[in-house]
Amino acid sequence: MKSIRVAIVGQGRSGRGIHAEYLQHVPNRFTIAAVADPIRERRDRAAREFGCDAYSSHRPLLKRRDIDLVINATPSHLHVPYTLEFLNAGFNVLCEKPLAVKVRDVDRLIAAQKKRGTVFAIFQQSRYAPYFQQVRKVIASGVLGDLVQVNIQFNGFSRRYDWQTLTAFDGGNLLNTGPHPLDQALQLFGTDIMPRVFCVMRRAVNYGDAEDHVLLVLEGEGRPIINLEISSCCTYPPYTYNVYGTRGGLRGSMGRLEWQYYLPEEAPKLRLQKRPLTNSAGNPVYCSDTLTWHKRTWKAPKSKQDLFNAISHGFYSMLYKTLTRGVPLEITPMQVRQQIAVIEECQRQNPHIYGKNT
């Protein structure tokens, strides 16, 4: 089995805490050959623990020809320029989210990848989250009927004060957390058409100038309404998913889901009544319906670490097949391009925060 030699640019919460944390445990598939980070302590720690080369800049990596994959885990505003450098140099690249802020930048990256014929992937790993896989499985089974609306909440209460609260660094909830639920939302909406977008943003409790409360609605003919919240000022988050269907519904968190549905063949036959309804005594009554509900539940892996490992394993297993066997990517740059188009439209609709960027 071929081991992919990896260079990780950035050793922060993503580069180290997600990518290196997973890759070091699958040496039969991936080998951490080099890292780059401007902070010396991070470089020294990576060199010591992974036995890899360590650089203060990404530039020396551009000259190496023994690297099979470059992971761009730098701060968000460096995703486009660094990814473009590595693609132009002929490297396979995995870029962290958010990939970009503007569609035109995504198009530049796709053009560079096509010119060199390399692999270009984006780390939208929550596509492989067990809870989302289960949501899709229930929906695909058809027991809920036709989807009417999907409510998604990635909410909590957090007074952030780091660089990811600054628009200059491509911060804000929509770019920080948003790519995860938005990728899931677009999978449920459908990636074959562009949805109509309505978005309201507010800055509530963070210490930067970017938004930390987002209400986003996606809508289209024949598609479910997607109601997405990404808020840092919600003290009582009720659920992650709440799905409305014509024969049932689903609700729950990342750790537990429950759904119920009725079977049409078991339901009483009804017909429209235009005249006022009355009971046997002739008194007016409200219409009633008696349905037999079938209830199901699902529980996630036991620990939060199990959840993160499952998500990373799903993504990297997919990417390994692409790098070694040429299997097409399941998460493509064109799919992410649709996501960035939605984000760009959201920013356009909120000039009080993003007026200088639109």
Give how far the C-alpha of residue 246 lies from the chain's centroid of Cα atoms, to the nearest Å. Answer: 27
Whether residue 322 contacts residue 4, with contact meaning beta carbons closer than 8 Å, is answered with: no
pLDDT for residue 305: 61
pLDDT digits (tens, 9 = 90+) for 331-356: 999 999 999 999 999 999 999 999 86
pLDDT for residue 61: 98
What average pLDDT score do residues 67-79 get?
98
pLDDT for residue 304: 59
pLDDT bin (cut points 50, 70, 90) of residue 310 is confident
Domain locations along the chain: 4-123, 127-310+337-357
Q: What is the CATH T-level fold of the domain 127-310+337-357, as seen in this structure?
A: Dihydrodipicolinate Reductase; domain 2 (3.30.360)
pLDDT digits (tens, 9 = 90+) for 115-161: 999 999 999 999 999 999 999 999 999 999 999 999 999 999 999 99
Q: Sort strands 120-122 and 294-299 into parallel, antiparallel or unpaired.
A: unpaired
pLDDT for residue 356: 60
What average pLDDT score do residues 54-74 get?
98
Whether residue 5 contacts residue 66, with contact meaning beta carbons closer than 8 Å, is answered with: yes
Task: Choose the weakest-confidence range: 29-33, 72-76, 297-301.
Answer: 297-301
pLDDT for residue 111: 98
Instruction: Give the 3-state secondary structure of residue 14.
Output: coil
Question: Among the CATH numbers 3.40.50.12500, 3.90.1010.10, 3.90.1410.10, 3.40.50.720, which is that of 4-123?
Answer: 3.40.50.720
- Whether residue 164 is predicted with pLDDT greater than 70 in this model: the reply is yes
Whether residue 156 contacts residue 277, with contact meaning beta carbons closer than 8 Å, is answered with: no
pLDDT for residue 301: 76
- Whether residue 92 is predicted with pLDDT greater than 90 in this model: the reply is yes
Least Cα distance to 242 among 232, 252, 234, 228 occurs for 252
Q: What distance in Å separates the CA atoms of residue 44 and residue 52, rounded to the nearest whole number?
A: 10
pLDDT for residue 303: 66
Query: What letter represents residue 235's amino acid?
Result: T
What average pLDDT score do residues 165-188 get?
97
277-281 contact pairs (CB < 8 A, 24+): none
- Of residues 11 and 309, the one with the higher pLDDT is 11
pLDDT for residue 52: 98
> What is the residue-averaged pLDDT of the chain?
96
Least Cα distance to 234 among 168, 148, 143, 173 occurs for 173
What average pLDDT score do residues 247-274 get?
96
Q: Sort strands 30-36 and 4-9 into parallel, antiparallel or unpaired.
A: parallel
Q: What distance in Å separates the CA atoms of residue 273 and residue 280, rounded to the nearest whole number?
A: 16
Phi, psi values for residue 227, rounded to 5°: -110, 110
> How far, CA to CA in Å, does 139 sit from each of 194, 221, 279?
21, 19, 38
pLDDT digits (tens, 9 = 90+) for 203-256: 999 999 999 999 999 999 999 999 999 999 999 999 999 999 999 999 999 999
